[in-house]
Amino acid sequence: MAADSSPRNTKRVTITDVARHAGVSTAAVSKVMRHAYGVSPAMQERVRTAMAELGYRPHAAARGMRGRTYTIGVLLDNVRNPFFADVLDGIREQLENSEYTVLIGAAGFGAEDQARTVRAMVDRQMDGLILIAPGTPRSEVLATAAVTPTVVIGHHDGSDAHDSVVDADDLGAGLVVDHLVALGHRDIALVSAAGNKAGRWQRPPETVLADGYLKAMERHGLTGRARVHHAAYSDDGGHTAGIALLSGDDRPTAILTGADVAALGIYRAADELGLSIPDDVSLVGYNNTAIAALAPVRLTSVDQAGHTMGATAARMLIERVEGRRDRAMRTTMTPRLVVRRSTAAPRVR
């Protein structure tokens, strides 16, 4: 078959083309695109059909000059933490029937790398930002929120500048300690992220989690047995922590980790050391991600409703972007403990 040598139309479709195709004015097309009040359902259908038939895509830069780009930036430190996938699913589901597009910045753990990513999002005129437990200095986040609607997920520091979605991490830690003590455990360790003091966040989630753990241990008369081991919330971080905690003669009989992904690393460390979970050590994760429910894992974990956190953050952000609310809000999720087979009564040594 001979190749089609006819010239192809590579010219970008404009709002004028859409108006002509739909048989309406350019003003009518603009109103439909802006979800303006008073546009009839029939007009919306007519214009959107024309846009679909012509393959029209709004020009982001041009929309930005008119005041909105319909893009939402989401900052996270890495894409390997399955909890972030739950949060992103909630954001996506909340926005799926809107004009907004979500763009993800996986910036790494470094504070400066995260700050640079946030600045790039602002420079590209994104309408709003969702920052998941940012390591970016708090002062920079506050400055950003002053000019771009922002929701911070995870950090408990209150602010009039940005909205917040948090989990009651202290209560979550208490649920775990209560559960393990009821099983007979006394030597319970916590593996938690070290946090970033340079960021000047006073109440990041790892700090609130540790506070809740220490208070729960105190409540049960176990203050002298409390151990907090700092490690990154990653498989490698959990593995390193697991080797350190489980290699000695004074190994704990139970470990709480601040993230399921770190718990997987502890699973790996226990296996390398010839230890069995839960026979030799009980293990509890945090986030209750899909991995926790897998048959080979069956990890007891604290559910902090990641999907709901993401959906709530997206809803709150759009309220601010579209001017339906001008005061900062804070929403707190109530954690619940999901018990699986990674926890059991301690073996008598």
What is the per-residue pLDDT for 30? 75
Please give the residue that has the higher pLDDT: either 222 or 8: 222
Tens digits of residue pLDDT in 40-64:
888 888 888 888 888 876 655 444 4
The pLDDT > 90 percentage for the chain reads: 65
Consecutive H or E run containing 74: strand 71-76
The Cβ of residue 10 has, within 10 Å, a number of other Cβ atoms equal to 5
pLDDT digits (tens, 9 = 90+) for 304-347: 999 999 999 999 999 999 989 989 999 999 999 999 999 999 98
Kind plus residue range of the DSSP H or E element containing 212? helix 205-219
287 within 8 A of 301, measured Cβ to Cβ:
yes
User: Above 60 in pLDDT, residue 1?
Assistant: no
Which one is predicted more confidently, 194 or 1?
Answer: 194
C-alpha R_g of the chain: 25
* Res 4 pLDDT > 50: no
- Taking only the tens place, the pLDDT of each residue in 129-151 is 999 999 888 999 999 999 999 99
pLDDT at 67 over 60: no
Tell me: pLDDT of 286 over 70: yes
Task: Evaluate whether 257 touches 238 at the Cβ level (below 8 Å).
Answer: yes
**Is pLDDT above 50 for 220?**
yes
Cα gap 162→57, rounded to integer Å: 31
Task: Compute the distance between CA of residue 88 and CA of residue 290 in angstroms, rounded to an integer.
Answer: 14
Higher pLDDT, 228 or 14: 228
- Looking at residues 254-267, what average pLDDT do you find? 96
Confidence of residue 190 (pLDDT cuts 50, 70, 90): very high
